Structure formats: C-alpha cells, structure tokens
C-alpha cells in the first residue's frame, strides 16, 4: 500500500495553500505548483513555512510524489488537462491522484487520464467555515486502496474523512447545506424575514455559531451568485434571488473578503453576544 510521504499540491490558491499548511503540520514533505508567480508569492506570504517547496515550472516537481491533490479553479476543461498531465508526469505506480472539485463528478474529471483507477475526488471545505469533514468520493474504477490512503492522510492532517462510494453531485454536506442557503435566500426575497433575523432564528435553534447569511458572507456573495446562475435551468425562481444579490454585489459587498456583505467586518454583528437575545 501507498504510505504517503511526499505530497504535491497543484494550485496555490487559498484552499491549496491551506491544504499545504495542514500537510506540512502533519509531517509530510510538501511541494506546491502554480503557473502564476503572484499566486505563489501570495501563498508564501500567507503561510510563512520555509519547508514547503514552491514550483512555478512543472518539471521542478519531484516525479516520485505519492499523493497529488489538484486544487485549480473550477473549470472542467482546465481540470481535465491538469489531471491528464499529472497522470503522465508522476511515476510512482501506486500514486494517488485526486481533485478538490466541488462541482464535478470524479468519473467525468478523469476522462483524459490513463490511470483512472488511481483517481477520486477529495473535497475540502473552506477552512473559514470550520467544517472539518473532507469528502472522499469514489467512482466505479477507483482502486480499493485509494480511499484507505486518503482516509489515513485526512486523519494525519487533523481532519475527518468521509468516504462516499456512489457518485453524487454536491457530496453529502453541501447537498444538504445548499438547501439551507437556498431556503434562507427565498425567505429573505419574499420578505418573510430579514437576513439577520433568519440567522438569529437558525443560530438560536441549532446552537450553531453562524447562520446561513453569515455563511454566505464567508463563501462570498459572488460565488453564491455564480452557483445560482448555474442552477437557473433547474431552479428558475433563482431569478429573484439573483436580483436580490445584485443589490449587494453591485456595490462590491461580496462578504468577509471585501469587509462588507450581509454583515460588516471584521466584527460582524452575529458574533456579538446580544445578537441572540
């Protein structure tokens, strides 16, 4: 079985960097690749971990990495091309190759790969959401040792593995929580309650430390707007939700990252004690 020692992360964005940091902390050798020098600089500055090897040229990566995690942006064509190259480049015969895609199914992502049996989805939630589950979603051709390797690796980096044997868009948690978001937006759009009121109601009843609109602020209003656009053929009522979101996004109220979304940052109202009273 593959005993992971060397991890390659393809894509130095927010999530890629976070996975690199966790892997490093878990005692693994970590190499991070990105075509963008500025992405690499940003990642270096954010992490400040000298033992991570950054590469901006493909052939700088060690060919004998055991675990390859692709975290490039959510575009099927780009992901397929990256995975096809990864498949050819890394030589370890029991390498595990995985994609962090939140949208696409593993059987579709690996279309251009030869070693489809060494591949599955490996989905991290954004660390800022404090969601500790990492989804390991197999497709029909995935070798049985692959989820074992990823289960062990996930535990080693301090997170909770969750194996899903049957492909399903949205995994398990996102499938459920996306509906929480959708229903909350729908209630706000209909004027039944305001975003803050909905969050308060959710937080009082569930004892969660964040509500649906606080979560949208973390994920980014632009990202949620994109998801709603993509779902338009299935959910035509999203038209009203998108119009509602536009009022915020037009003013660059994109959530925590721009300092303003449904709440104002760095000290959003929902984090104050009096919010729940």
Residues in contact with a second copy by CB under 8 A are: 125, 129-133, 160, 162, 164, 166, 168, 172-173, 175-177, 179-180, 182-184, 187, 190-193, 197-198, 200-202, 204-209, 212, 276-277
Token representation of residue 236? 């035509």
Smallest gap from residue 206 Cβ to a second copy (A): 5
Q: How far apart are CA 240 and CA 232, in angstroms?
A: 11
Task: Tell the smallest beta-carbon distance from residue 173 to a second copy (Å).
Answer: 5
At residue 64, what are phi and psi to the nearest 5 degrees? -100, 20
Distances (CA, A) of 239 to 159, 186, 223: 37, 11, 16
Strands 96-99 and 67-70 come out as: parallel
Provide the pairing of β-strand 119-124 with 133-137: antiparallel
198 versus 254: smaller Cβ distance to a second copy: 198
Least distance to a second copy, CB of residue 98, Å: 19
Name which of 85 and 275 has its Cβ closer to a second copy.
275
Output the smallest distance, CB 91 to a second copy, in A: 35
For residues 115 and 161, which CB has a smaller minimum distance to a second copy in the complex?
161
Given the complex with a second copy, which of 15 and 72 has the nearer CB atom? Answer: 15
Helix axes 238-249, 173-189, angle to 10 degrees: 80
Min CB(51)–a second copy separation in Å:
29
Closer residue to a second copy, CB minimum distance, 90 or 202: 202
CB neighbour list of residue 73: distance below 8 Å, 6 or more residues apart: 11, 13
């Amino acid at each position: 079985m593959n005993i992971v020692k060397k991890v390659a992360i393809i894509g130095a964005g927010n999530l890629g960097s976070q996975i690199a940091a966790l892997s490093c902390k878990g005692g693994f050798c970590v190499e991070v690749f990105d075509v963008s020098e500025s992405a690499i600089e940003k990642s270096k500055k954010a992490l400040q971990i000298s033992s991570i090897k950054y590469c901006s040229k493909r052939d700088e990566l060690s060919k004998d990495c055991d675990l390859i995690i692709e975290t490039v942006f959510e575009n099927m064509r780009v992901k397929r091309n990256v995975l096809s190259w990864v498949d050819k480049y890394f030589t370890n015969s029991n390498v595990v190759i995985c994609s962090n895609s939140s949208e696409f199914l593993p059987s579709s992502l690996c279309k251009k790969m030869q070693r489809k049996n060494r591949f599955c989805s490996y989905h991290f939630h954004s660390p800022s959401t404090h969601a500790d589950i990492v989804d390991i979603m197999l497709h029909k051709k995935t070798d049985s040792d692959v989820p074992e390797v990823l289960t062990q690796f996930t535990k080693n980096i301090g997170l909770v593995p969750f194996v899903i044997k049957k492909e399903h868009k949205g995994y398990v948690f996102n499938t459920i929580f996306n509906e929480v978001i959708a229903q909350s937006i729908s209630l706000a759009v209909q004027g039944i309650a305001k975003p803050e009121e909905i969050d308060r109601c959710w937080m009082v009843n569930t004892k969660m430390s964040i509500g649906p609109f606080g979560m949208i602020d973390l994920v980014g209003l632009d990202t949620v707007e994109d998801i709603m656009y993509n779902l338009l053929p299935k959910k035509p009522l999203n038209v009203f939700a998108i119009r509602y979101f536009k009022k915020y996004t037009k003013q660059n109220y994109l959530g925590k990252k721009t300092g303003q979304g449904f709440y104002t940052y760095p000290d959003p109202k929902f984090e104050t004690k009096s919010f729940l009273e």
